[in-house]
Amino acid sequence: MNHLLTSGRISFKMLRYFEAAASYEHLGRAAESLNISKSALSGQIKDLEQALEFPLFNRHNNRITLTEAGRLMKVEAGQMLEQMSQALDRVIQAGKSEQQTLNIGIVSSALWHRLFELLGQFRKQYPTLLINFVELAPNEQRKALIDRSIDIGFSRSGDVHKMLPFQAKIAFKDFLCAAVPANHVLANESELSLSQLKDLDMVQFDHHRSGTAELIHQKCLKQGFRPRVRYKAVEPQTMMAFVSAGQAISIVPQCFSSQPWKQVVFIPLKEKIPADLCVVYDQQKQGGVLASLVKLIDDLQAKPEVAS
């Protein structure tokens, strides 16, 4: 290892600060992105240049530009920081595997699939595994995956396009259906089309928290009408309470029908709109316990009679 690193004259903090300054080519904006003062950033860069014994930037009043050596340093520093980040990710993943801990983010309705059955099979491979569940909206799951407070998430297929750059796979297939009060005029129908719901009051999830709500909205628009969403809910129990009380109908995943809601009838939709429950994870950080769980989900998807 270079003596400038081993002696402590150059630190990873210096490299991180330099990379920010090199990216913005403006000390003020770079300092703001790092949440430090401009003078602290300038001091770190000067210390780095003194250790290297040559300048990395040309100074032009408030603006800075990279020297030839600075441009090379930007590439090399970026690679070093990325390699260090990946190395730490591998160590963290190995440590979690040793501790046999798996932190799972879930949407409320995830437990209405056979998720516990899936995890029961998984525990046969890892009998001492400690599983922590955290109930999170899809956007919250993405943030938690980024900061590594969860290892894996379970969200609806309507939300996975918002989960990039994370990988998503179907864990349990599902479709949307209509939930109507038991005394409703449509309650005895064996199947409904979206167009039959156009003049009815609806209760749906807030589209800011649920991609499925936005999907339903778009499907209704394609049928030539705007859904009459009178009430917005955060929790499934709230939505079903409105339906049970005869205040509105709703469009929900079929897994809702597995729960004993009073005075609610669930009717399939002719449109067959997917509402799959998907597993979401960071493919680059996949290893150990996490890799085994993803493989089990893949294996079960190859056997629909078990995974459905």
* Shared domain check, 255 and 233: yes
pLDDT for 306 beyond 90: no
What per-residue confidence (pLDDT) applies to 99? Answer: 57
Cβ-contact 219, 271 below 8 angstroms: yes
Alpha carbon separation from 88 to 81, 230, 264 (Å, rounded): 11, 49, 50
pLDDT for 308 beyond 60: no
Q: Which has the closest alpha carbon to 250: 175, 143, 148, 178?
A: 178
Q: pLDDT digit string (tens) for 232-249?
A: 998 899 999 999 999 999
Share of the chain above pLDDT 70, in %: 93
* Shared domain check, 21 and 155: no
* Shared domain check, 109 and 80: no
Q: Is the dihedral of CA 183, 185, 186, 188 positive or negative?
A: positive
Residue 125: CATH number of its domain: 3.40.190.10
Total residue length of the chain:
308
* Shared domain check, 219 and 79: no
Overall domain count for the chain: 3
pLDDT for 286 beyond 70: no
Q: Report the distance separating Cα 114 and Cα 255, nearest Å.
A: 10
Q: Which residue has the tokens 């040559």?
A: 54
Cβ count near 136 (within 10 Å): 22
Domain span at residue 10 reads 3-94
* pLDDT tier, 12 (very low <50, low <70, confident <90, very high otherwise): confident
Category of 104 on φ-ψ map: left (φ > 0), alpha (ψ -120 to 50) or beta: beta
- Helix-strand-coil split of the chain, %, nearest 5: 50, 20, 30
Token output for 60: 């032009």
Q: Report the distance separating Cα 277 and Cα 273, nearest Å.
A: 13
Share of the chain above pLDDT 90, in %: 50
Task: Tell me the average pLDDT across 37-63.
Answer: 89
pLDDT for 287 beyond 80: no
* Shared domain check, 130 and 196: no
Domain boundary among 49, 74, 94: 94
Rg of the Cα trace of the chain? 26
What per-residue confidence (pLDDT) applies to 302? Answer: 66
pLDDT for 163 beyond 70: yes
Q: Report the distance separating Cα 308 and Cα 306, nearest Å.
A: 6
Cβ-contact 176, 273 below 8 angstroms: yes
pLDDT for 305 beyond 50: no
* Shared domain check, 16 and 55: yes
What per-residue confidence (pLDDT) applies to 128? Answer: 82
Q: Which has the closest alpha carbon to 167: 49, 293, 254, 273?
A: 293
* Shared domain check, 210 and 134: no
* Shared domain check, 138 and 78: no
* Shared domain check, 296 and 254: no
Cβ-contact 214, 204 below 8 angstroms: no
Helix (H) / strand (E) element for 59: namely strand 57-60
Q: pLDDT digit string (tens) for 109-151?
A: 998 998 898 898 898 888 888 899 999 988 899 999 998 899 9
* Shared domain check, 167 and 281: yes
pLDDT for 162 beyond 90: no
Of 217-226, 256-265, 295-304, minimum mean pLDDT range:
295-304
Alpha carbon separation from 115 to 4, 134, 169 (Å, rounded): 52, 14, 14
pLDDT for 203 beyond 90: yes
* Shared domain check, 54 and 110: no
Token output for 116: 């516990």
pLDDT for 285 beyond 90: no
DSSP letter assigned to residue 223: T
* Shared domain check, 180 and 133: no
DSSP letter assigned to residue 192: B
Residue 85: CATH number of its domain: 1.10.10.10
Task: Tell me the average pLDDT across 67-80.
Answer: 91
**Cβ burial 4-16 (10 Å sphere, 16+ → b, else e):** eeeeeebeeebbb
